[in-house]
Amino acid sequence: NAGVMQNPRHLVRRRGQEARLRCSPMKGHSHVYWYRQLPEEGLKFMVYLQKENIIDESGMPKERFSAEFPKEGPSILRIQQVVRGDSAAYFCASSDGTANEKLFFGSGTQLSVL
Amino acid sequence: RKEVEQDPGPFNVPEGATVAFNCTYSNSASQSFFWYRQDCRKEPKLLMSVYSSGNEDGRFTAQLNRASQYISLLIRDSKLSDSATYLCAVNEGYQKVTFGTGTKLQVIP
């Protein structure tokens, strides 16, 4: 399966712990997006990365959240000191970076903060 | 004003009906446009791109109106399997893709 792979599928954390969400883009894609979705709400843009570079992080909270996409390995969305309000589905998408920017999504990580 | 706006619905339509959704966007510099479909608790999947000339894929037709800054999706001969949430997406330039909140469609037997 050469699709976008996200893991874990479900992640449970207690308040104050750290959450690390991983995303491997589709083969041949070098652009990764992270979105957050609350129940019954739309996708909220968080961050857009290319290999080793953050291009746009305007949707990501300034504190506790960080993202990276290293030269080797998956993209990581890291949430430090999680709070209950961080509970959501986090979707990663990848693209090949061409002008029409079609996004292909992973199955998402459902984060639950107890 | 939201960057991308959609009527959340739900749209409840009988099988066989024709239904249309609109989506407005605020950034006139937006470059490309898409419709995605999202089933409950699943990831969004690309339905179709939207071009100025309009495009059709079977029962689905998408249109773009740059002057009025909206895109539309028309579904003809609705099937039960069309029940889902339909998200419009706009590439605002610099390849940042913004999604609307989605329009929920329920096709009724």
Task: Please say whether the beta carbons of A56 and A50 come within 8 A.
Answer: no
DSSP letters for A23-52: EEPPTT--EEEEEEE-TTS-EEEEEEEETT
Average pLDDT score over chain A: 93
How many whole angstroms separate alpha carbon B83 and alpha carbon A19?
33
User: CB–CB of B94 and A56 under 8 A?
Assistant: yes
From residue B17, alpha-carbon distances to A23, A100, B64, B66, B104 in Å are 39, 31, 22, 27, 15
A21-57 per-position pLDDT tens digit:
999 999 988 899 999 999 878 899 999 999 889 999 9
Q: What pLDDT does A19 receive?
A: 98
The pLDDT tens digits of the residues spanning B71-100 come to 999 999 999 999 999 999 998 776 788 999
CA distance A47 to chain B (A): 9
B10 pLDDT exceeds 60?
Answer: yes
Whether A32 and A23 have beta carbons less than 8 Å apart is answered as: yes
Output the pLDDT for position B2. Answer: 74
Beta-carbon-side half-sphere exposure of residue B80 (alpha carbons within 13 Å) = 2
Instruction: Count CA atoms closer than 13 A to B87's CA, side-chain side.
Output: 24
Q: Which residues of B touch A93 (CB under 8 A)?
A: 97
Determine, for residues B99 and A41 on separate chains, whether the beta-carbon distance falls below 8 Å. Answer: no
Give the per-residue pLDDT at B73.
96
Residues of A within 8 A of B101 (CB-CB) are 41-42
CB contact under 8 A, A56 and B96: yes
Q: Write down the residue that tokens 């479909």 correspond to.
A: B37
A72 Cβ neighbours under 8 A, 6+ residues apart: none
- Report the b/e string of B52-85 with b at 16+ CB within 10 A: eeeeeeeebbbbbeeeeebbbbebeebeeebbbb
User: What are the residues of chain A with a beta carbon less than 8 Å away from any beta carbon of chain B?
Assistant: 31, 33, 35, 41-43, 45, 48, 55-56, 58, 89, 91, 93, 95, 97, 99-108
Residues in A touching B98 (Cβ below 8 Å): 45
For A3, other C-beta atoms within 10 Å of its C-beta total: 15
Interchain proximity B43–A55, CB inside 8 Å = no
Most B-contacting residue of A31, A43, A58 (CB-CB within 10 A), to test interface: A43
**Peptide bond between residue A70 and the one before it cis (omega within 30 degrees of 0):** no
Question: CA-CA distance, A97 to A108, in Å (whole number)?
Answer: 21
DSSP, res B79: -
Q: Do B94 and A55 touch (CB under 8 A)?
A: yes
Q: Report the distance separating Cα A14 and Cα A33, nearest Å.
A: 26
